[in-house]
Amino acid sequence: MSDWLRWLLIAIVVLAGVVVVGWRRISLPAMPQVRGRGGISVSVLGWLVVAVVVAAGTAGGLLWFLGWPRLPTAGVFDVNQLLDLLKIALSVVAGFGGVVLLAVNYRKQRVTENEHALAVEKAERETVQGFNERLGTAAEQLAHESPAVRLTGVYALTGLADDWVDKRQVCVDVLCGYLRLQSEVMTPGEAEVRQAILRMIGDRVGADGDWRRSPVDFDFTGVVFGNADFSQLRFAGSVVFDRADFLGELTSFAGSEFAGGLSCHGTRFAADRTTFARARFDGRAEFVGAEFAGRELNCRNWEVAGGVVDFYRCRFLGEQLDFSSLTFQHGVVRFEKLDFTDAELDFRYLSGGWGSPGGLARLTFEEVRFVRCRLDLETHAHSERVIWFLDSVLDTVTVVVEELEEIKPFVTYPRRWLNFRNVELRGGTVLPEHHIRTSAQ
């Protein structure tokens, strides 16, 4: 490699370094050093350096491709050739002028974009400030002595939750917190305020509500409900009814969907009738230490879609317990460590995907004591792993098992879909042997 070529390559490398440094300064127009030292001059200089590097690289590559030919002397060119060379020189100058114009327009565009971004940021700050002011005003109204003002605060806070999606959970927490503030003496108008909160929540998680798909959590811990109506609602987030009391003639969760989980720890369902008919459970539902003290419990047509519904150490004091027509889609309903006494339990028409033999049980009674009960069992499933009784006691229990007519033509062998393990039979309890699989382990 000749000396002049080596120096040309070194110069290109140095210019490339200058381009990198200049480009970093151009890419940060908001930095104080750029604004303070004439940012437009830096931009123009940077673009000119880029143009020089590109031109030098192109010229060097062309000469290398041609084998580094010797250029003729000036006396060899005639007038026409000199004019052509002059046109080329003017074109190069015009190209550098275009580079300068490009740099200026680029800087203008960046300045415009930065101004727009600042305007958007300012508008967002003003919007958030307005939301915060509305939140403070609504909170003050909820704390007012007058029930009319508190009612206004309820409407203001729910409206704010509709508008302020990012802080919707905060607004919901304030409303639920108000419900959790129990008082021994209900002041005039207080019942209307609480009913308004529940109505506003129900409207927004109901069939046409805006909160049905957003994961909003509701915490009703310790709240006392009278004739509660949570029917046809969809809770996308978690719902907590721990230590809550449901009183009155009817507590309804009919047709509701719990997609984010349900917690009923120490909950007391004391209404005369409690219904979860047609409820759907996509997440985990926990009834731990809950008490069902009403006369009737209706859990017909449940759909357990992938979740687990647990009844652990619960108290069932009613006489009619309807769990018929349960539909499972890879879900489990489990009763554990509890007693049923003088009750009619209906578990007929169970259906759904039960999984392969040996898989996870779908309906399980573990350490459950049945005393003087009637137990109706029936299933649509063909699997032999449908219902399990584990470590349980059946004392004076009438077990009724019916074979569905639509399944009989397709079954040529006894379907042992009732599985008993370590189960004690007392009081003359008799089991239908042709449907039962027993095990001592």
Least confident of 70-74, 222-226, 332-336: 70-74
β partners of residue 374? 344, 398
pLDDT at position 30, please? 43
At a CB cut-off of 8 Å and minimum separation 6, what does 6 contact?
Answer: none
d(CA 265, CA 174): 22
Is the pLDDT at 389 greater than 90, yes or no? yes
Contact 299, 274 (CB under 8 A): no
Q: What's the pTM?
A: 0.73
Tell me the mean pLDDT in the region 259-273.
Answer: 96
50: confidence class by pLDDT, cuts 50, 70, 90:
low
Residue 182 in this model has a pLDDT that exceeds 90: no
What distance in Å separates the CA atoms of residue 151 and residue 132, rounded to the nearest whole number?
19
CB contact set of 150 (below 8 Å; sequence gap of 6+): 141, 142, 143, 144, 189, 193
Instruction: Supply the pLDDT for residue 393.
Output: 96
**Tell me, what's the pLDDT at 293?**
95
Give 176 or 82, the one with higher predicted confidence: 176
Residues 101-114: tens digit of each pLDDT = 776 777 778 778 88
pLDDT at position 3 over 60:
no
The pLDDT score that the predictor gives to residue 305 is 83
With vertex at residue 255, the alpha carbon angle to CA 251 and CA 256, rounded to the nearest 5 degrees, is 80
Average pLDDT on 365-376 reads 95
- In tens, the pLDDT along 290-305 reads 999 999 999 999 998 8
Q: Of 185-189, 192-196, 210-214, 300-304, where does mean pLDDT reach its minimum?
A: 185-189
Backbone angles phi, psi at 391, to 5 degrees: 50, 45
List C-alpha distances in Å: 261 to 98, 211, 325.
Answer: 64, 16, 22
Structure tokens belonging to residue 314: 């619960």
Asked if the model's pLDDT at residue 409 lies above 50, the reply is no
Instruction: With a cut of 70, say whether residue 70 has pLDDT above it.
Output: no
Domain boundaries, the chain: 3-125, 213-439
pLDDT at site 237: 94
pLDDT at residue 128 in the model: 74
Q: What is the mean pLDDT of the chain?
A: 79
- pLDDT band at residue 271 under the 50/70/90 scheme: very high
Give the rounded percent of residues in the chain with a pLDDT score beyond 70.
67
Q: What is the Cα gyration radius of the chain? A: 39
pLDDT at 199 over 60: yes
Q: Is residue 207 very low, low, confident or very high in pLDDT (cuts 50, 70, 90)?
A: confident
Instruction: Give 97-145 pLDDT, tens digit per residue.
Output: 666 677 677 777 877 888 778 877 776 777 678 778 989 999 999 989 9
User: How much is the average pLDDT of 22-37?
Assistant: 45
* CA-based nearest residue to 324, from 302, 297, 347: 347
413 vs 374, which has greater pLDDT? 374
Distance CA 150, CA 148 (A): 5
Amino acid at 309: V
* 7 vs 53: CA distance, rounded Å: 14
- Between 236-240, 297-301, 432-436, the lowest mean confidence (pLDDT) is in 432-436
